Amino acid sequence: MKITSVEAIPFAIPYRKPLKFASGEVHVAEHVLVRVHTDDGVVGVAEAPPRPFTYGETQAGVLAVIEKIFAPQVVGLSLLERETMATRLARTVGNPAAKAAIDMAVWDALGRTLDVQVTELLGGYTDRMRVSHMLGFDEPAAMVAEAERMRERHGITTFKVKVGRRPVGLDTAVVRALREGLGDDVELYVDGNRGWTASESAMAMKEMSDLGLLFAEELCPADDVLGRRWLVSQLDVPFIADESAVTPADVTREVLGGSATAISIKVARTGFTHSQRVHHLAEGLGLEVVMGNQIDGQLGSLCTVAFGSSYQLTSRRAGELSNFLDMSDDLLTEPLEIHDGELTIRPGAGLGVEIDPDKLARYRQDT
**131-165 b/e (C-beta count within 10 Å ≥ 16 → b):** bbbbbbbbebeebbebbeebbeebebbbbbbbbbb
Q: How far apart are CA 311 and CA 282, in angstroms?
A: 12
**Exactly one of 47, 108, 191, 342 is catalytic; which is it?**
191
**How far from 103 is each of 43, 109, 166, 228, 346, CA to CA, in Å?**
13, 10, 39, 33, 19
Half-sphere exposure of 85 (CA within 13 A, CB side): 30
191 is annotated as an active-site residue: yes
Among the listed residues 159, 166, 168, 169, the one whose alpha carbon sits nearest the alpha carbon of residue 136: 159
Q: How far apart are CA 219 and CA 50, in angstroms?
A: 22
Collapsing DSSP to helix, strand or coil, 159 comes out as strand
276 is annotated as an active-site residue: no
**Exactly one of 57, 103, 266, 330 is catalytic; which is it?**
266
Cα Rg of the chain, angstroms: 20
Please answer whether residues 224 and 197 qualify as being in contact, where contact means their C-beta atoms are separated by less than 8 angstroms: yes
Q: How far apart are CA 270 and CA 96, in angstroms?
A: 6
17 is annotated as an active-site residue: no
Among the listed residues 246, 11, 3, the one whose alpha carbon sits nearest the alpha carbon of residue 105: 3
**Exactly one of 217, 254, 326, 342 is catalytic; which is it?**
217
Q: Is the CA virtual torsion 136, 138, 141, 145 positive or negative?
A: negative
266 is annotated as an active-site residue: yes
Q: Which helix (H) or strand (E) holds 339?
A: none
Q: How far apart are CA 336 and CA 319, in angstroms?
A: 15
Half-sphere exposure of 363 (CA within 13 A, CB side): 25
Would you call 361 exposed, middle or buried from its count of C-beta atoms within 10 A (0-12, 13-18, 19+)?
exposed
184 is annotated as an active-site residue: no
329 is annotated as an active-site residue: no
Mind telling me the catalytic residues? Answer: 162, 191, 217, 242, 266, 294
